[in-house]
Structure 1
Amino acid sequence: MSENKSAEMYQVWQQDKDHYIHPWTDFSTFKETGSIVVEDSDNVHITDGDGNQYLDGIGGLWCVNIGYAREEMAQAIAEQIMKVPYYSCFGHHTTVPAAKLAAKIAELAPGNLNHVFYGCGGSVANDTAVRIIHFYFNQLGKKSKKKIISRIDGYHGSTYMAMSITGVKFDHIGFDIDEQLVHHISCPNPYRRPESQSIEDFCDEKVQELENKILELGPDNVAAFFAEPIMGAGGVIVPPKGYHKRTLDVCRKYGVLYVSDEVVTAFGRLGHMFASKDEFDIVPDIITCAKGLTSGYLPLGATILSDDIYEVISKPQAEGALFTHGFTYSGHPVSCAAGLKNIEIMERENLCGHVQEIGSYFEEQLKTLMDLPIVGDVRGKKFMVCVENVANKESKELIDPEAQVGNRIADHCQKRGLIVRPLAHMNILSPPLTLSKDNVDFLVSTLRESIVETMKDLKQDGYL
């Protein structure tokens, strides 16, 4: 690297450290270490400001489904900017990309989910869902139906309402949430069930817990149940078979709306455009999505509503009254153009089929890590996988949190040219959907080497 280039990157690093407040920052180390400056990218790789290349095992953040630096995506974005870079969609205006993308999403979504409300990301999509659900029940004259149920370790975003729905307790430390409106039930994590309990009994217990919570709060007070098909940031939790169908049945029984949070799982990550129906055989009342909708190229989220909900909310509540919900950037034409091009690429290249094939290989190869002494569980589906590390495989006892085992493994991976996501004692993998078998082999072998190296460190430091 030239001296000028090095000086420029140092300046960027310093500016970032001095002025940019990052999400989920560890301030105990950030003020000293700062950030890795990501300067370039191509397909499944990113390159930092020092010229080091990494296989991106996390797809940015569950996002870059079609891979980095797609020229035709850049062209589609540029063409829309030169046509209409922005126009308000309030009232009786629209743009070509916003209308076409809404129709395409309705075509791809299951059942009668035919109506799309746009926001800027997953948190906003879930906030919108809550606001519309409350409005829906108000319109029906059921004004007490307000409470929301979600699950411990579920993640639904970081705006005030979305974080209240989120059940990851670590994320609540020091911040306020609405504990009167939102109530949480247990995480349906089969790996952490009692050793003596069958998977069937575990599923029965978790389904019954939802019904009990509805009865405890009162069916006339419960508006909705929020559930990710696979829980992402809570540790890639795949619930027991039949769990989603049965919890949907419970919701139907008590007139509770079912919101499937597909911010991570939609648009190919599990090998389907939407996972709710194709993977878990349910048609929810609402689907929220973002991330893979544009492959992260531009911010965009969507709240997809059923015909039944739309019929209620689309009737004027009073003479001259409006549906007063929305954002300046709702249906942003450039973001919607990116969404359309993203879906076009996915369909043309059969990325869902690719994920079905290579994703299965990815799962199989990652499961070979189970022979390592600290790997207690490898779980997930296709390109959404978690490796959980433990001190004892039999008891499932965790390694001392102070050891920061997930961070240690991620650091060793990074030194070897691989980015994985640390989450306490776990490491999460959500690579671009364009990963090849050779990429998978590199990822798994590098992760193995890094876990082995971490085990040596842990023994040396007295944690094993």
Structure 2
Amino acid sequence: MAAVRDSSFERQAPEADAEELARRHLVQPWPYAGSIGSEARGLIGSGDGIYVTDGEGRRLIDGPAGMWCVNAGHRREELAGVMYEQAMRLSYNTPWYTMNEPSAVLAERIAAHAPGDLSHVFFTTGGSSAVESALRFMQFYNNVRGWPEKKLLLSRGGAYHGSTYLSASLNGRPRDRDWMDVADGLVVKLSSPDPFRRPEGMTVEAFADQLVDEFAETVARIGADKIGAFVGEPVQASGGVIVPPPGYLPRIREICRDNDILYVSDEVVTGFGRLGEIFASQDVFGIDPDIITFAKGVTSGYFPLGGMLVSERLLADLRRSNHPDAMYAHGLTYTSHPVGCAVALANLDLLEGGILDHARAVAPYFQERLKTLEELPLVGEVRGVGLMACVECVADRESNDPLKLDYEVGKRIDAHCHSLGLLVRPLIHMCVMSPPLIISRSQIDDMVAILREGISRTMDDLATEGVWQG
């Protein structure tokens, strides 16, 4: 492999200049109206392994692995080198009437890991565009089959599926929709499969039955001839790492199969090693979807890439339809990008070459150590699977109410942890942890110790302010 060209980064601005430039010119994602276009966020200057370095030179454990994505860790020469080599060989080709070799090879390798007959891949630029592509495929599929009314989408409370118009319409977190328009007429919302919030006195098994009954009753009430797809994350990631009750997902899959409803498994977060497998649908949860969407970990965040895996059965239905000239008029300028696909191939080499084995080996220890944080009075529940977990804080452990006295408690914990050497993903009253898959046991110990101290300091702050008694 050719050496990666060294660079002194002469064109990068120092921290103070970068912050001022951001305030003057950069629109950040998910801004508030009161600060839109005038905000500077914490600067990250470099990364190495499971660590990043901020603008002040502080070394931090990357608790969220970027955004669930830096699975192989930062500063992997194997990935950076392939990116450079492919860019020097072929930086781009139009996917409308040409193709490149890395995309074809990557499609075959990804399909080899997929469950059932999911043997074809359409590449996108990320998770939102992957989900959008799946939804548009469902619409096309039913139009070609002569079912133009079969278009409604089933989604769940607490879900997060993206930021494009259709994908965002599936989202089930209220704050995502307060000020944004969505296609409500196309989406039917179901309950979140959150065992922590199940009715008081109800067993987890009974809760699963309730969820399945709700799904079946919804299909019967609306009519299967009106419902095109169910879209669900195996684990609701941004909703707070909601791990569904055992057996719930396979039962939902059967209802979908019996009613000709496409099952779209959104593995944008859970795919490519986060749960120790390339895909978690079958290997972890026992389901064989019609479509799987993926992104994030497919390149470990080194290049924007996503995609959807589609069942051969669905494509065969289209090929033998009475409309051979019907066009799936959907594509992206950067579909099957050669650099992204080359990086993903190298990333798969790393995952298959030992990272997946390591992730499976350390995951139980990761969950066990985080679970000890439930000893803290502010912590209502620690839940998770694989190398993703959520620490949910509550005001009242008897009622499991969120921390209403300080709705932004997660930001307080994050601030304390940052000063101690850990980046946290704060979600209002929840702290999400999903570190790079290469994290060691001793680094897990460091991460949990810092998080414990950050929560403890937050409890002291709230008690001092007189807004929480513990």
TM-score by length of 1: 0.96
TM-score by length of 2: 0.94
Q: What residue is the counterpart of 2:6 in the other structure?
A: none
Distance 1:174 1:244, change over 3 A: same
Aligned-pair CA distance for 1:236: 0.5
SS in 2 for 1:390: strand
- Matched residues in 2 for 1:185 and 1:321: separation? 33
Task: Tell which deviates more after alignment, 5-14 or 115-124.
Answer: 5-14
The answer to whether the Cα contact below 8 Å between 1:76 and 1:341 also exists between their aligned partners in 2 is: yes
Matched, 1:409 2:413: yes
Q: What is the aligned counterpart of 1:90 among 96, 117, 135?
A: 96
Letter in structure 2 aligned against 1:309: L
Q: What residue is the counterpart of 2:3 in the other structure?
A: none
Aligned residues: 459
Q: What is the aligned counterpart of 1:301 among 297, 306, 312?
A: 306
Map Cα deviations across residues 236-274 of structure 1 (whole Å, 9 max, x no partner): 000100000000011112111100000000000011110
The answer to whether the Cα contact below 8 Å between 2:144 and 2:321 also exists between their aligned partners in 1 is: no
Letter in structure 2 aligned against 1:262: E
Matched, 1:77 2:83: yes
Q: What residue is the counterpart of 1:353 in the other structure?
A: 357
- Matched residues in 2 for 1:314 and 1:341: separation? 33
Q: What is the aligned counterpart of 1:56 among 40, 59, 62?
A: 62
Letter in structure 2 aligned against 1:8: P
- Matched residues in 1 for 2:200 and 2:161: separation? 30
- Matched residues in 1 for 2:197 and 2:138: separation? 33
The answer to whether the Cα contact below 8 Å between 2:395 and 2:405 also exists between their aligned partners in 1 is: no
Letter in structure 1 aligned against 2:69: C
Matched, 1:282 2:301: no
Q: What residue is the counterpart of 2:128 in the other structure?
A: 123
Letter in structure 2 aligned against 1:328: T
Matched, 1:375 2:379: yes
- Matched residues in 1 for 2:194 and 2:203: separation? 13
Letter in structure 2 aligned against 1:194: P
Q: What is the aligned counterpart of 1:364 among 360, 365, 368?
A: 368
Aligned-pair CA distance for 1:32: 7.6
SS in 2 for 1:454: helix
Q: What residue is the counterpart of 1:46 in the other structure?
A: 52
Q: Identical aligned pairs, as a percentage?
A: 43
- Matched residues in 2 for 1:173 and 1:52: separation? 36
Aligned-pair CA distance for 1:314: 4.2
Q: What residue is the counterpart of 1:446 in the other structure?
A: 450
Matched, 1:37 2:58: no
SS in 1 for 2:252: helix
- Matched residues in 2 for 1:7 and 1:306: separation? 47
Matched, 1:204 2:209: yes
The answer to whether the Cα contact below 8 Å between 1:421 and 1:428 also exists between their aligned partners in 2 is: yes
Matched, 1:114 2:114: no
- Matched residues in 2 for 1:453 and 1:28: separation? 29
Q: What is the aligned counterpart of 2:424 among 420, 423, 427?
A: 420
Map Cα deviations across residues 189-245 of structure 1 (whole Å, 9 max, x no partner): 001112211111100000111111112221100000001000000110001000000
The answer to whether the Cα contact below 8 Å between 2:28 and 2:37 also exists between their aligned partners in 1 is: no
SS in 1 for 2:256: helix
SS in 1 for 2:243: coil
The answer to whether the Cα contact below 8 Å between 1:17 and 1:35 also exists between their aligned partners in 2 is: no
Letter in structure 2 aligned against 1:429: M
Aligned-pair CA distance for 1:313: 3.2
Aligned-pair CA distance for 1:149: 0.4
Q: What residue is the counterpart of 1:15 in the other structure?
A: 21
Aligned-pair CA distance for 1:38: 1.0
- Matched residues in 2 for 1:204 and 1:169: separation? 25
- Matched residues in 1 for 2:120 and 2:236: separation? 25
- Matched residues in 2 for 1:5 and 1:248: separation? 52
Q: What is the aligned counterpart of 2:74 among 45, 68, 74?
A: 68
Q: What residue is the counterpart of 1:154 in the other structure?
A: 159
Map Cα deviations across residues 419-456 of structure 1 (whole Å, 9 max, x no partner): 01111111001111011111101100000001110001
Distance 1:33 1:302, change over 3 A: closer
Map Cα deviations across residues 101-156 of structure 1 (whole Å, 9 max, x no partner): 00011111111100001110010011100111111111111121000000011110
- Matched residues in 2 for 1:115 and 1:246: separation? 25
Unaligned runs of 5+ in 1: none
Q: What residue is the counterpart of 2:4 in the other structure?
A: none
The answer to whether the Cα contact below 8 Å between 2:47 and 2:53 also exists between their aligned partners in 1 is: yes
SS in 2 for 1:17: helix
The answer to whether the Cα contact below 8 Å between 1:154 and 1:228 also exists between their aligned partners in 2 is: yes
Matched, 1:268 2:273: yes
Aligned-pair CA distance for 1:5: 12
- Matched residues in 1 for 2:269 and 2:465: separation? 36
What aligned pairs does 1:125-140 form with structure 2 within 5 A after superposition? 125-140=130-145
Aligned-pair CA distance for 1:35: 1.1
Distance 1:317 1:52, change over 3 A: farther
> What RMSD in Å do the two structures reach over aligned CA positions?
1.8
Q: What is the aligned counterpart of 1:252 among 254, 257, 260?
A: 257
Q: What is the aligned counterpart of 2:401 among 376, 397, 401?
A: 397
Question: Runs of 4 or more off by more than 6 Å in structure 1?
Answer: 4-7, 29-33
SS in 2 for 1:162: helix
Aligned-pair CA distance for 1:30: 7.5
- Matched residues in 2 for 1:294 and 1:410: separation? 27
Aligned-pair CA distance for 1:316: 7.6
Aligned-pair CA distance for 1:88: 1.0
Letter in structure 1 aligned against 2:134: A
Aligned-pair CA distance for 1:25: 2.6
The answer to whether the Cα contact below 8 Å between 1:211 and 1:250 also exists between their aligned partners in 2 is: yes
Task: Tell which deviates more after alignment, 322-331 or 397-406.
Answer: 397-406
- Matched residues in 2 for 1:71 and 1:202: separation? 47
Unaligned runs of 5+ in 2: 1-9
Distance 1:202 1:7, change over 3 A: closer
- Matched residues in 2 for 1:261 and 1:128: separation? 12
Distance 1:452 1:145, change over 3 A: same
The answer to whether the Cα contact below 8 Å between 1:316 and 1:322 also exists between their aligned partners in 2 is: no
- Matched residues in 2 for 1:319 and 1:386: separation? 48
- Matched residues in 1 for 2:324 and 2:300: separation? 41
Letter in structure 2 aligned against 1:97: P
The answer to whether the Cα contact below 8 Å between 2:27 and 2:37 also exists between their aligned partners in 1 is: no
SS in 1 for 2:395: coil
